[in-house]
Amino acid sequence: MAEKQKESKVSKEVSKDKAESSYLEYLPKLSRRGFLAAAGIGALAGLTGCLRLGEEKKPAAAPAAPPKHEVPPGEWDEYYGFWSGGHSGEVRILGVPSMRILKRIPVFNFDCTTGWGITEQSRKIMGTKYQTGDTHHVHLSYTDGTYDGRYAYVNDKLHARLARIRLDYMEVDAIVELPNAQGTHGIFPQRAPRTGYVFCNSEFQLPQPNDGRNMDVRDKYYGMHTAVDGETMELKWQVMTDGNQDLCATDYKGKYSMATCYNSEKGFTLEDMMAKDRDYLIVFNISRIEKAIKNGEYMSIGDSPIPVVDGRMTSPLFGEAVIHIPVPKSPHGVNVSPDGKYAICSGKLSPTCTVVDLAKVDDVFAGKLKPEEAIVAQPELGLGPLHTVFDGRGNAYTSIYIDSVVCKWNIEKAIRQYKGEKVDPIVDKIDIHYQVGHVNASMSETKEADGRYLVSLNKFSKDRFLPVGPLHPDNDQLIDISGEKMVLLKDEPVWPEPHDCVIVKRDVILSVIKRVDDPNRYPNRVGPDDNRVERVGERKVNVYMTSQAPKFGLTEIRVKEGDEVTVTITNLDTIEDLSHGFAIPKHDVNMLINPGQTQVVKFTAGKPGVYWYFCTWFCHALHLEMRGRLLVEPR
């Protein structure tokens, strides 16, 4: 009976919400912090339960209920938020609505916290070609129009790359470089029936091939739309187009991908890019592109073997596999409503949004309508509309850059207004501080948009926070959109520049997340009796060792100056947050080994002498004693 009572106390401490059944599988794997907390609560309960003889126990006053968006200490957020990290090259995980940063996932950047870019596994994925990156858009994989918790994908605008993050371990498992492309900006996965392709837009036009010819002939410059297999991360095909491709979107039926297109003038300078009064929404018909490739209607460009379909306006496939829908000048965002009916484009140089009926797009590809006839509304919302998100109740929320507001408007009312009815589609506006770029709302990019919270990612914070030198923080603002009026809940200073985010229900991620690494993932795992140093050549040494608090399996590694040393370490601890580090002074080695994980690092032994390797993650009362000597002998 006593044992059952103890289990009940532990269960109450660990399980924050009984409705989240996916948590229960972790209850037997109590963390060391959870164990100490449970023990402490039990002891405290025993002490406070002892009253002096005759003392009357007074009922405790009911605490005031916190605002619904506040997450009390020890409680869990309702949503995971995935933020791009901008110039840092990383992805950030936040809790929403608390806006607490939970994790920073290194992607295109070196990171001493985890050893990303230092360990052999990460170097193999990341490559050694570039040391910089610029993440803008992060999107999650789908099944039947909603998030399935398998993967997150993020772009590198700087070097035209796409990375994939496994959401069970929250770590990158693949990076692919896109050929014939620069400035890869907008990306988006297929939503139905299941993520197959991830589409990537090249924002910068290039002479094709980009080999030094035609560098000053702007008619030879083209954009590139790339399809990557989201399961294998293999390049599948590209479509060459006129104009700079910006943001990307997909429909809910698996038929279309899209790109907003600006600079249809093919200009090299700002003045050149402003000659026309219209640009385009490009819509790609996936099945017709695949049919063209099957029929051999493609080319190869440069050294890349990937098939390239000609989607230019002079191509026979223009109008068949690719169409241009005219929209106001310099369009930026394109977003598809949760019911799958409409794609909404925003033109930065027009106060309007353009609503495109995707059923009418079917008719355009069938030859029944002209491209412009797919437009069913153009509501005037404010100066500088950029991006649109949804609440699942028929309302859209558009970020207005110049006006520094978020505008809430009703899609059906906008369509009625376009038909001539005297109806105002604008429902509400809220001031933003300042100059909002992207917005996103909870589950907005799925068929399960729930209209709870919206985050406004602002480019400037100006005087809203303590000054920290010439580089000011950006300002993310959390807004309640559950009612008729939007309500600003909080400001959050952020390290520049988190470009975009998505917000997903926590149970989607909790259903897949791993708290302890699976040892079976590592074929080179070191067992407790396998600690050893092996010389495998005149200048090569392999080291195999374990870590288990509070000691390494080897306390001495003896090598010679100039040796290439490969160290393989397995963390034998199984408590879920008992991570270890491994660092060697003067050898540029610093990495993390999570419970159950095996990491490999390679370095060249330096000058003769003693170098203490040590654990960098506080793991035990004797953490400081967890160390060993790297002894480098003269050769």
Do 81 and 158 lie in one domain? The reply is yes
Let me know: does 464 contact 433? Beta carbons within 8 Å.
yes
Between 38 and 142, residue with greater pLDDT: 142
Same domain assignment for residues 363 and 454: no
Residue-wise pLDDT for 169-187, tens only, equals 999 999 999 999 999 999 9
Asked whether residue 451 is domain-assigned, the answer is yes
Domain membership of residue 412 (yes or no) is: yes
* Residue 509 falls inside a structural domain: yes
User: Do 367 and 402 share a domain, yes or no?
Assistant: no
Write the pLDDT tens digit of every residue in 346-377. 988 899 999 999 999 999 999 999 999 999 99
Looking at residue 230, which CATH number applies to its domain? Answer: 2.130.10.10
Is 61 domain-assigned? no
Structure confidence at residue 87 as a pLDDT band (50, 70, 90): very high
**Distance (Å, rounded) from C-alpha 126 to C-alpha 108?**
7
Domain containing residue 549: CATH number: 2.60.40.420
Residue 359 exposure: Cα atoms within 13 Å on the Cβ side: 4
493 and 540 assigned to the same domain = no
User: pLDDT at residue 28 above 60?
Assistant: no
User: So what's the pLDDT on residue 155?
Assistant: 98
Domain boundary among 454, 487, 514: 514
Question: Model confidence over 446-458: pLDDT tens digits?
Answer: 999 999 999 999 9
- From 330, 353, 378, the end of a domain falls on 378
pLDDT at 558: 98
Query: Do 489 and 580 belong to one domain?
Result: no
Same domain, yes or no: 454 and 527: no
Domain-located, residue 393: yes
Q: Is the predicted pLDDT of residue 3 greater than 80, yes or no?
A: no
Longest dimension (CA), the chain: 96
The single-letter code of the amino acid at 465 is F
The residues, ordered by sequence, that sit 6+ positions from 35 with a Cβ below 8 Å of its Cβ are: none
What integer pLDDT is reported at residue 498 of this predicted model? 84
The values of phi and psi at residue 320, to 5°, are -95, -55
Report the distance separating Cα 519 and Cα 30, nearest Å: 19
> Does 326 map to a domain?
yes
Q: Which pair of tokens denotes residue 264?
A: 């249809």
Domain assignment of residue 40, yes or no: no
Which range of residues forms the domain containing residue 233? 178-378
pLDDT classification of 501: cutoffs 50, 70, 90: very high
- Of 496, 514, 532, the residue at which a domain comes to its end is 514
Least Cα distance to 348 among 327, 325, 331, 326 occurs for: 331
Say whether both 293 and 193 belong to one domain. yes
Does 503 share its domain with 420?
Answer: yes
Residue for token pair 């010439």: 470
Same domain, yes or no, for 112 and 253? no
Q: Is the residue at 7 inside a domain?
A: no
d(CA 99, CA 95): 5
pTM of the model: 0.89
- Residue 23: is its pLDDT beyond 60? no
Do 523 and 618 share a structural domain? yes
Phi, psi of 431 (to 5 degrees): -70, 140
- For residues 64 and 45, the answer to whether their CB atoms sit within 8 Å is no
Please give the average per-residue pLDDT across 427-443, as a whole number: 97
Residues 529 and 580 in one domain: yes
Cβ neighbours of residue 610 under 8 Å, at least 6 residues apart? 629, 630, 631, 632
For the chain, what is the domain count? 3
Under DSSP, is residue 503 helix (H, G, I), strand (E, B) or coil?
A: strand
pLDDT digits (tens, 9 = 90+) for 244-279: 999 999 999 999 999 999 988 888 888 888 878 889
* Same domain, yes or no: 369 and 425: no
Cβ atoms 417, 434 nearer than 8 A: no
